[in-house]
Amino acid sequence: MASLPPIDLPRGATGAGAFDALAEGGENNVLFGFLLRLGDDSLILGQRLSEWTGHAPSVEVDLSLANIALDLVGQATHFLNHAGEVEGKGRDGDALAFRRDVLDFRNCWLVEQPNGDFAQTMARQLLFSGWQKLLFQALLGSRDATVAAVAEKAVKEVTYHEELAAEWVIRLGDGTEESRRRMQDGLEWMWRFVPELFDMDPLAAFVAEHGLGADLAALRPAWDRRVRSVIEQATLRVPADQRPILGGRRGHHSEHLGHLLCTMQFLPRTYPDATW
Amino acid sequence: MVAAGKARVDSPPLTLPFDGGGKGGGGVNAGRRVSGDSTPPQPLPIKGRGLEPIWAVLESVPDPEIPVLSIVDLGIVRAVEAERVVLTPTYTGCPATQVIERDVRAALDAAGYRRVRIETALSPAWTTDWITPVGRAKLHAYGIAPPTAPGQGTPECPRCGSAHTDEISRFGSTPCKSLWRCLDCAEPFDLFKCH
């Protein structure tokens, strides 16, 4: 197994410990890292959601989840293709999606979590899409023209994702005894992964300062208002804050991500350059 | 799945000049706003002088998902110039995007326009406002309700014309459609989502 990767950080960034070693390459390298975060979040959640295809509670839900997955994979295609161009080593979106190993992924922990039951999936979707919508609204002003253009396109789609998740959280929370219990459990399970979404580590701070990325911490109040209001409408409890789990942005992941990649990457790794 | 070879993002993306700042003068969508987002004023496509033959070629290319519409009806052809055609994809992950690019290439080649290249512009983002009036009429005749603006009430059933309709599913058989049913004639129908 490869050793843990160095984190891609700008020169002069503060931090301590082996994983905060600064990488060579200046702003482009930071932009590459930033684009991986955006692209990997969308790619991994898109892959997760597609696991529901053929298994969802009803055909309408099946269609909805497949559509959301498709939107997310589309976002990932744009972000990762752009990441490949910025990196300048001849890798495209496919190469980045299918030929990186788990330690090189920069997605947050929330998106790699297993689907669990339908309520757990909807809890994850509400927390994530609520955040992604605010993020993309902020990225409309990104100095990187591709990031701004993808955000402009995708923010409309993410609005649908968030509405769908909110409707289900309310319906299940304010539903039967069992749906209510499952919905509360889903939120309790996913809540520990929320702080990572808003974590301003040195890379996030750098891209925000340079007008490329968003000030993530500044998104939290609006996110809290929206998510709390949905949870209240669902007559559920807002989960208590837990010790945050961080690390996805540095390539430290839960064991679930490797298993997801096994499925996602199997074909292109086994039959390199296969086309269809 | 992720990007088959040729689909590329321009970086930085093209910025198209606005041509008149929108569909002026009381078109079907005059003055509407799309679901609280930040859709910019809608530019008309750039026609180019003397390029009608290229437009005619493009009008012969159907949308792969809704073949009753041409890609011109759909409003994704944003500019035609002597040496390039600019397309704007409808949805971020729409699988039809790559098929469309391939079909446009084939149609241009067959008509002798081998030197005309195809470019993709993501911004300004495509919106259902760009579907032409002809396109809306074709959708309706085909049995798909054209997009309705928020606050405009429920869509009319394309079969019996009743506005007594109800949403079954926000997401339909393709990214661009949601599934509805008519409460009068009891038939289900697709609605082209306002986007």
For B47-70, the pLDDT digits (tens) are 777 789 999 999 999 999 889 999
Distance of CA B117 to the CA centre of its chain: 20
Query: Domains along chain B?
Result: 1-130 (3.30.300.130), 143-192 (no CATH)
A175 touches chain B (CB under 8 A): no
> B185, B169 in Cβ contact below 8 A?
no
This complex has an ipTM of: 0.72
In this model, does residue A111 exceed pLDDT 80? Answer: yes
Name the CATH architecture for the domain at A19-266: Up-down Bundle (1.20)
Q: Which value, in Å, is the radius of gyration of the alpha carbons in chain A?
A: 18
Q: Write b or e for each residue in B33-48: b if 16 or more Cβ atoms lie within 10 A of its Cβ, otherwise e.
A: ebeebebeebbbbeee
Distance of CA A209 to the CA centre of its chain: 22
Structure tokens at A140: 């409309």
For B114-159, the pLDDT digits (tens) are 999 999 998 898 999 999 999 999 999 999 999 987 777 889 999 9
Q: Which value, in Å, is the radius of gyration of the alpha carbons in chain B?
A: 17
- Please tell me the distance from the alpha carbon of residue B14 to that of residue B29, in angstroms, as a whole number: 25
Where do the structural domains in chain A lie, given as residue ranges?
19-266
Q: Do A81 and B122 touch (CB under 8 A)?
A: no
- Give the predicted TM-score (pTM) of the model: 0.82
In this model, does residue B10 exceed pLDDT 70? Answer: no
How confident is the model at residue B29, as a pLDDT?
32
Closest alpha carbon within chain A to B127: A153
Q: Where are the beta strands (DSSP E) in A79-153?
A: none
Which A residues in the span 140-169 are in contact with B, Cβ-Cβ below 8 Å? 140, 145-146, 148-150, 152-157, 159-160, 163-164
A238 touches chain B (CB under 8 A): no
Q: What average pLDDT is seen over chain B?
A: 78
In this model, does residue B107 exceed pLDDT 60? Answer: yes
- Please tell me the distance from the alpha carbon of residue B12 to that of residue B119, in angstroms, as a whole number: 12
For A21-61, the pLDDT digits (tens) are 334 456 678 999 999 999 999 999 999 999 999 999 998 89
Q: Do A146 and B7 touch (CB under 8 A)?
A: no
Nearest to B126 by CA among A154, A141, A144: A154
